[in-house]
Copies of this chain bind each other. A is one copy, B any other.
Amino acid sequence: MVSIEQVLRDHQIRPTAIRLLMYRFLKDSQVALSLNDIESGFDQSERTTLYRTIKTFERKGLVHQVDDGTGVAKYALDKPANGKQSTQDLHLHFHCTNCNETTCLTEHKIPHISLPTGFIPEDMNLLIKGVCDKCSGQ
């Protein structure tokens, strides 16, 4: 079990106060967070700094951006690459139209897709919209 400080260092990120706080904040969240969500979670906070922090996390491979179709970027911590570095595990994302929360379904991978000749895939995003488990009451 590694300290957050160490996790950051392992990703070439200097563990400053805000970074540690934001990491913990992201880690404690079950859903993907927008910059506004993050900002609301801090008392004193400069949104530019938060913005640059999340972008640093993204660039260094700590978080991934989630596009849930709302037009607002959200972010979620990458699953700690267990053992080997899976380039990127293309899991699906669920956006609840009721509570507006967006969840990473990390266990549900995107099935293989065949494309017309000439189209070379490099990345993909499968977004499901509907009602989440909390809202459906099931």
Contact = CB atoms under 8 A, between A and B. Distances in A.
A97 B69 contact: no
Identical chains bound together, number: 2
A117 interface: yes
Interface residues of A, number: 36
A120 B131 contact: yes
Nearest to A72: B71
A97 B46 CA distance: 32
A129 B128 CA distance: 17
A30 to B, nearest CB: 13
Interface of A: 67, 69, 71, 73, 92, 94, 97, 105, 107-108, 110-111, 113-134, 136, 138
